[in-house]
Amino acid sequence: MALTRRGSLAALTGLAVVPLVGAAPRAQVVPTRAAPSFARLEREFDARLGVHAVDTGTGKAVAYRPDEPFAFASTYKALAAGAVLRRNTPAGLERVVTYTQAELVAHSPVTGRHVESGMSLRALCDAAIRYSDNTAGNLLLGELGGPKGFQAELTGLGDTTTRADRYEPALNEAAPSDPRDTSTPRALTSALYAYTLGGVLDGERRALLLDWLGRNTTGGALIRSGVPAHWKVGDKTGNASYGTRNDIAVVSPPGAAPILLAVLSSRAARDAAYDDRLIARATEVVVAALRA
């Protein structure tokens, strides 16, 4: 049975649903079937894994450590762009934001080329999502009143879990015992749903966000590699210290309702490397579980 938009958000949260989108029954969560497969991946890759996925058509969900905190890394950029879209009309997105050379931080492949001219809000959203440009991410946070302003936006969606504290690059320190700049797989899928498929944005602005996610350049080896080749994926990746590697996505099988998916991971050592195959293979487990 297909869920309504309101029902889909309830499935994603599994909690009381925010006033923006209404309330409906919880998802049919099936964590136990997939849990052994996720646990095997953790052992194989020596990593901690967090997964939350919901088929918005059936309400079926897959969850593994869905409420454990993980450093969100650059996945926040998709949600920050959604919040900026909510605050601005399409015409307002053409406003040019200026910044200085001193404001540039590491990994700023797009903003680094436009210091003299500045960039429109629309272009900053594009750069932050499609190229994970860190200065663009910082400028989007600035538009929202800083990290705490961004957190307030998410709180307004009903997310009392995600905590935003710092700008790039400090937010990527990702120490395991540090609650700053963390979220959970469940909270991230819920917020991504709200901005991409829920009632937070109108159709025009929602289409913009989905377009940026769909043309992301950084996610080819992650969730996109774990779904059938003919499925469409719009995603936002992230990585940080302690082997942090994340991907959040709207996955669209042909002729079926979208799937919201978050796959987050971390390792014990600060300088540990991440392996994109962990995210791809966890995604394969999700797809198999949802199809079962």
173 given a catalytic annotation: no
CB 76 within 8 A of CB 140: no
Over the range 17-37, which residues count as b (16 or more CB within 10 Å of their CB) and which as e? bbeebeebeebebebeebbeb
Q: How many CB atoms lie under 10 A from the CB of residue 249?
A: 33
How far out from the chain centre does Cα 254 lie? 22
Q: How many CB atoms lie under 10 A from the CB of residue 178?
A: 14
Q: In the CATH hierarchy, which fold is given to the domain comprising 5-291?
A: Beta-lactamase (3.40.710)
Q: What is the pLDDT of residue 33?
A: 79
How far apart CA 169 and CA 60 sit, in angstroms, is: 37
| Closest to 233 (Cα-Cα) out of 96, 60, 43, 53 | 53
**Catalytic residue selected from 74, 108, 132, 265:** 74
Q: What is the pLDDT of residue 292?
A: 86
| Closest to 283 (Cα-Cα) out of 229, 243, 207 | 229
Q: What is the pLDDT of residue 166?
A: 99
Q: What is the dihedral of CA 161, 133, 126, 139, to 10 degrees?
A: 70
Mean pLDDT by 10 residues, the chain (292 residues): 41 34 45 86 99 95 97 99 98 98 99 99 99 99 99 97 99 98 98 96 98 99 99 99 99 98 99 99 98 89
**Catalytic residue selected from 168, 183, 190, 225:** 168
Q: What is the pLDDT of residue 7?
A: 42
> How far is the first Cα of the chain from the last one, in angstroms, to the nearest whole number?
15
Q: What is the pLDDT of residue 77?
A: 99
Q: What is the pLDDT of residue 27?
A: 63
Q: What is the pLDDT of residue 73?
A: 99
Q: What is the pLDDT of residue 28?
A: 65
8 given a catalytic annotation: no
Burial-class residue 230 by CB neighbours within 10 Å (0-12, 13-18, 19+): exposed
Q: pTM, whole model, 2 decimals?
A: 0.92
Q: What is the pLDDT of residue 47?
A: 99
Q: Where are the domains of the chain?
A: 5-291
Q: What is the dihedral of CA 226, 232, 236, 239, to 10 degrees?
A: 20
DSSP the chain: -PPPHHHHHHHHHSSPPPTTT---PPPEE-HHHHHHHHHHHHHHHT-EEEEEEEETTT-EEEEESTTS-EE-GGGHHHHHHHHHHHHS-TTGGGPEEP--GGG--SS-TTGGG-TTT-EEHHHHHHHHHHS--HHHHHHHHHHTTSHHHHHHHHHHTT--S-B----TTGGG---TT--TTEE-HHHHHHHHHHHHTSSSS-HHHHHHHHHHHHT-SS-TTTHHHHS-TTSEEEEEEEEETTTEEEEEEEEE-TTS--EEEEEEEE-SSTTPPP-HHHHHHHHHHHHHHHH-
Q: What is the dihedral of CA 175, 178, 182, 184, to 10 degrees?
A: 90
